[in-house]
Amino acid sequence: MNNNYNGGSQTITVTPTGFSITARTGSAPTNGAPLAYPAVYLGCHYGNCSPSSTLPVQIGGISSATSSISYTYPGDAGDIYDASYDIWMDPTPKTTGVNQQELMIWFTEQGGVQPISYSYDGKGNAIPIATITIDAVNWNVYRGNNGANNVVSYVAVDTIDTLTDLDLLDFIDDVMIRTADFQEPVTDAWYLTSVQAGFEPWSGGVGLTVNSFDATVN
């Protein structure tokens, strides 16, 4: 999906296994929403559901959830973006509209963009609430709300471009811990509605590529 929603224009070239950003105009302040979220996904996004998807599915009924991805970052120092998974959960089997809980997994960021957080230091840097290890990768963990939904973000301490069979259930289980004190915490009774992977550009981004993506939920 192109998913250009916050100004400027964007063109993507779709391949059998992913996509590339081939044109991008506009810019957005880094203390606000990105220009877009071009992505590939399993599940449902605003009423558009991927073929043969079993999502939405109740979290308690999931025995395994894995995903593999390969990214290419073009290396333009002026680009501002993150490369991330966007995983959505809701108390109902929602196929359209905004879900109540967003789980983000950042593989890299460039240009000083920060995850959504309840706490920032004097320089505007988000303050992590924990650092954990999942699939032999160290992730800084952040909690926040973007005005529409709660967000728990996992930001890789070191840049990653490829992961194979990433265990998404480990992240979902951790989200349950991180939201335990929320008014509506994520539980096994909630539904996983989509697993998305792509980029959030604030400026530039031509050449950003998802070479391959796969997600399986059983």
Q: What residues are annotated to the active site? A: 102, 200
Cα angle for residues 69, 71, 76 (degrees, 5° grid): 165
Give 115-183 as a DSSP string: ---S-B-TTSPBPPSEEEEETTEEEEEEEEE-SSSEEEEEEESS--SEEEEEEHHHHHHHHHHHTTTSS
DSSP state of 61: G
Q: Enumerate residues 6+ apart whose C-beta is below 8 A from 52.
A: none
